[in-house]
Amino acid sequence: MTPLSGKHIVLGLSGGVACYKAAELVRLLGKAGCTVQVVMTEAAEHFITATTLQALSGRAVYTSQWDAREPNAMAHINLSRDAHAIVIAPCSADFIARLAQGRCDELLSLLCVARPLQRVPLLLAPAMNREMWLHPATQRNLAQVVADGAVSLGVGCGSQACGETGDGRMLEPAEIVEELQAFFSPRLLAGEQVLITAGPTFEAIDPVRGITNRSSGKMGFALARAAREAGAQVTLVAGPVALATPRGVQRLDVESAQDMLGAVEQCVPHASVFIATAAVADWRPAAVAAHKIKKDGTGQLPQLGFIENPDILATVAASRRAQEGALYCVGFAAESENLLEHARAKRQRKGVPLLVGNIGPATFGQDDNALLLVDEAGVQELPRASKHALARQLVAELARRLGAARAGLPREDMP
């Protein structure tokens, strides 16, 4: 289940080369649990065929307000009434102008104006040349459309089909789906400032070698995305991982445990929730060699001394804001055995209200996981599922615990 499960989306295509992305968008929306009804302008038909979109959506594509398939000849009414949302992607400068003026001279703009305003939201993914995007008329028209109740998803920046580079690219299909997931998610963490650490740390031995672990960062990144979907302002402090930053999340990249602690300490004064998902190295080399340590042919190993890294979670949990209840701390434990025993001990040792345990070797690098939630009242299992699904479950649990903690209730009395 995702926030889009069971949703019916009317996907409108206006004219623009970004229409080619609509095929992937339809596929991803279907994968997220949506049904998709495609409506195209005449200009859009110059860039992608209705046959392609019909094959991917499983529904006949509408292109004309005079479509004879509708018994009452009111496609603009019928198509808008069953929709949970109308998404225009790509939304051209011309189509934005049509919406701003309330023009109804073809099917797509007609159904946008005819939609029930209070029940069917209109979301726009603009796509155009950078100069067209920056033109005062475009910005003025978009501001008017937003003032009239539409939601602009924004634009991407990069190379454009015309050969120029800048703002105006349509968001990638996966980014649009992320925005829709967030749009339809309950705002369980609205007003919260969530700080999350994710991934491994890398402790240098010399300029080319170091000590790290197998953490992929996927669980922490999934939590960042789920917290943002739930309405939180999210800052993600990430160790060295090859993962895309979730939409709307501020990301700080670090390498070592000391780097991560420094970044966390800068962000803690503004955070209301701290989730320590990162697999931080417990030790680091006492000294880093200035140059690569070479074999000398003797068979003797280099002498490496180690010192203990700072305990980031314990440091934050002992801070004044955490002790006064202004900062709710959640720890993670990646174990290889005796998960419950070690998770309980770690929660007590770190002094945090909630500890989330998992079996590291069974989840590192994987797209799924199983979690054990340990607090002072007991244990709760979240069975194996995708990390995105578990992240949403954990965010819901966190929201309940936050509400109870701020109301001074024990867990068994939580709503």
Q: Where are the domains of the chain?
A: 8-184, 193-290+303-406
Domains 8-184 and 193-290+303-406 agree in fold: yes
For the stretch 308-353, pLDDT in tens is: 999 999 999 999 999 999 999 999 998 888 888 999 999 999 999 9
Q: What angle do CA 404, 410, 414 make, to 5 degrees?
A: 50
Answer whether residue 415 shows pLDDT above 50: no
Residues 275, 196 contacting (CB under 8 angstroms): yes
| Residue 175: per-residue pLDDT | 97
- Name 378's Cβ contacts closer than 8 Å, sequence gap at least 6: 411
Give the length of the chain. Answer: 415
Please, what sign has the CA dihedral across residues 36, 40, 45, 47? negative
CATH class of the domain defined by 8-184: alpha beta
Q: Whole-prediction pTM value?
A: 0.90
Kindly report, residue by residue over 25-34, the tens digit of the pLDDT: 999 999 999 9
As a whole number, mean pLDDT of residues 227-247 equals 97
Confidence of residue 409 (pLDDT cuts 50, 70, 90): low
Q: What is the pLDDT of residues 32-84, one digit of tens each?
A: 999 999 999 999 999 999 999 999 999 999 999 988 888 888 888 989 999 99
Determine which one of 34, 157, 162, 329 is catalytic: 162
Segment 84-88 mean pLDDT: 98
User: CA quadruple 327, 328, 332, 338: dihedral positive or negative?
Assistant: positive
Least confident of 74-83, 103-112, 192-201: 74-83
Distance CA 104, CA 100 (A): 11
pLDDT band per the 50, 70, 90 thresholds, residue 212: very high
Residue pair 86/10 in contact (Cβ under 8 Å)? The answer is: yes
Enumerate the known binding-site residues for CTP. 282, 292, 310-313, 332, 346, 350
Classify domain 193-290+303-406 by CATH number. Answer: 3.40.50.10300
User: At CA 58, angle to CA 56 and CA 60, rounded to 5?
Assistant: 105
pLDDT reported for residue 67 = 86
Give whole-number Cα distances, 298 to 295, 301, 303, in Å: 8, 9, 14
What phi, psi does 136 have (nearest 5°)?
-55, -35
Based on the residue annotation, tell me whether 162 is a catalytic residue of this protein: yes
Tell which phi-psi region holds residue 227, choosing left (phi > 0), alpha (psi between -120 and 50) or beta: alpha
The band of 189, judged by pLDDT with boundaries at 50, 70 and 90, is: very high
Per-residue model confidence (pLDDT) at position 361: 80
| C-alpha distances in Å from residue 163, one per residue of 125, 130, 247 | 21, 11, 26
Rg (CA), the chain: 25
**Cα-based angle 83, 85, 91 (whole degrees, multiple of 5):** 125
Position 45 scores a pLDDT of 97
Residue 414 reports pLDDT greater than 60 = no
Binding residues, by number, are: 282, 292, 310-313, 332, 346, 350
